[in-house]
Structure 1
Amino acid sequence: MRPDFLIIGAEKAGTTWLHDVLRAHPDLFLPDTKELHFFNRFDSNGREIDTYARRGLGWYERHFEAAERGKPAGEATPLYLCDPAAPRRIRRTLPEARFIVLLRDPVSRTWSHYRMARAKGHITEDLATLIDRRDARIVGRGLYAAQLDRWFALFPRERFLILFFEQVMAEPQAALTRIAAWLEVDPAPLLEAGPEVRRNAATGYRSAAVYNASVVGARALRHFPPTRSLARRMKAAGLYDLLKRANRVEAPMLSMTQAERMALVACFRDDVARLSTAHGLDPPWSGRFALAASQSPEPEPVLHVP
């Protein structure tokens, strides 16, 4: 069996919360594992992983073996939105798929992603350096209009439910009711689960090496058939969460400078404008990008990267 819908992004825009809420619905199926990373060629750090080529469709379908016929099945991998290979691969494999997209103010999204990547030891540079080089991992993923161009070229616009993180978090019941209607399921289980699901708050780690080793180890157990059931039992027993809690500390105190903030606004303002002009969207944060455009000189050209 294959999924009917995908939560494709964006990173740091509420996809973990939504995945966990949808998993609580008895008439929906999502795998235990969030982020199967099947269709994306590159991981969050820009390294080539290409699970699609290495493991094949049978590996992907096994994640949906427990799904009941007639009930919507889905998965959430937020890298699909920005990965250049994902749309065409999904078009070939899931031609009738539908998509949920969560978009967040790209400046806030970039800052959240930067803090997470620093805490995990994935990057060491300061934010200003990443902005100057238009870093694909941190800055480029906020270029939503450029990413949506690829998707809308391959799938009808009506296949997409596009929501804004700020509105979802401010009024989760309204958002969940809308999602339930789009998925054609009873909204009550989502409305009940929504307030109970923990939101993915910023955190730090005593040891980034321990965190990264635990992620790699858990993924290996899940993906190797002889140990897959062991991985599920360990997760059900709370062993993964126990390890994470033991290694977790308060997020490091980092502050974005006003210069960094304004540089990010300049990076994103043309792309934010295209969300409206090219894609008919009305983000709640678009106004301040338009205001900045009227008050500042033209920025250097932005490299549209995945």
Structure 2
Amino acid sequence: MRRFQATFVGIGGQKCATTWLYGVLQQCPGVRVSDEKEVDFFSYYFDRGYEWYERNFAAEQQVQHRGEISPSYLIHPAAAARAAAYNPDLHVFVTLRDPVKRAFSNHLHEARKGHISGDNLLFETALGNNPLYRDQGCYATHLRRWFDHFPAERIHVFFQEEINADREAMARQVTDQLGLPPLEDFLDLRANESVRYRNPVVGEALWKVGNYARRNGLGRVVETVKSAPGISQLRSANREAMNAVVQPMKPETEAMLTDFYADEVAALEKLLNRPTPWERYKPAALRA
């Protein structure tokens, strides 16, 4: 193994708790994650070579694991084969969520980033504007490629709904999979999809400062500063609720997407040999 070779990747779907996963790994003393969460090497930047890739988590101190989290790897058709050729012993972390809710969260993300405007702020119109809203929720189709290239025991799947139910317990499962001790003082890192920055420059600057501090063991200090007078008001004033910008999904659209993903969910449960926690896909008797 090369000195800075990665030992894990995160390939969770976009808007499926990959920020939480990054935050867990970032806090582990025995882990070096990339400074930027999404390196996208095995998808978009494979031409830059292994040396460039490994610079993203190079550090002089001895660590047990190195790696990064890039949601693009789940859906990119070549990513699994490229990752397996790079290191066939990689741990592959996957985070998934209800695919219907994921699609709408994807829409909120695009609206927050300013990638869509006008009629496309309506989710029903945006479905035609961005085919990936639907495609990224076809989990079985995409994840099967990873099972073709890695043994099942190296692929660790987490559902966002189970993470939300007990985030600290699920963080322990992450450290267990890597053979690391549990985090003694777990700090929860999550993305807020319900708001966007009125001034993106200020918002991004505050986030980057906080992220730098967390990487250097100052997570508790960051949380204290965030709630301090002045900083708290600045953060609140710079946020706009997304429900004032984007209308909710229509019931008939939700029904259509629920039906669209039904076969994919059934195939996913067969692939994983376990049920999903998504209520809409449980038999009526169990939902009751």
- Name the TM tier (shorter chain): 0.7 to 0.9
Match of 2:219 in 1: none
Aligned to 1:204: 196
Go from structure 1 to structure 2 and tell me whether the alpha carbon gap of 1:70 and 1:198 turns closer, same or farther (over 3 Å shift). Answer: closer
Give the aligned partner of residue 164 of structure 1: 159
The 5 Å alignment of 1:152-231 reads: 152-189=147-184, 192-193=185-186, 196-202=187-193, 203-206=195-198
The Cα shift of 1:28 comes to 1.4
2:41 paired residue number? 38
Aligned to 1:127: 123
Give me the TM-score of the superposition, normalised by structure 1. 0.74
Secondary structure of the corresponding residue to residue 161 of structure 1:
strand
Alignment of 1:14-25 (within 5 A): 14-25=17-28
Contact 2:167 2:188 in 1 (8 A): no
C-alpha displacement of 1:291: 4.8
Q: Unpaired segments of 5 or more residues in structure 2?
A: 217-221
Structure 1 Cα separation of the partners of residues 240 and 269 of structure 2: 40
Structure 1 distance, partners of 2:131, 2:6, is: 29
Query: What TM-score do you get using the length of structure 2 for normalisation?
Result: 0.78
Q: How does 1:24-103 map to 2 (within 5 A)?
A: 24-40=27-43, 50-53=44-47, 55-66=48-59, 68-69=61-62, 71-103=64-96
Out of 140, 143, 149, the position equivalent to 2:144 is: 149
Instruction: Check 1:70–1:204 CA distance in 2 against 1; reply closer, same or farther (3 A cut).
Output: closer
Find the aligned partners of 1:123 and 1:94 in 2 and give their Cα distance.
38
SS at match of 1:74: strand
Q: Name the CA shift for 1:67/1:116 in 2 (closer, same or farther; >3 Å).
A: farther
> In structure 2, the residue corresponding to 1:163 is in which secondary structure?
strand
For 1:257 and 1:34, the matched residues in 2 are separated by: 33
Who is 1:2 aligned against?
Answer: 5
Equivalenced residue count is: 256
Q: 1:110 and 2:106 equivalent?
A: no
Cα-Cα RMSD:
3.0
Q: 1:136 aligns with which of 124, 127, 131?
A: 131
Whole-Å separation in 1 of the counterparts to 2:199 and 2:63: 45
Instruction: Please state how far the C-alpha of 1:69 moved relative to its aligned partner.
Output: 4.3
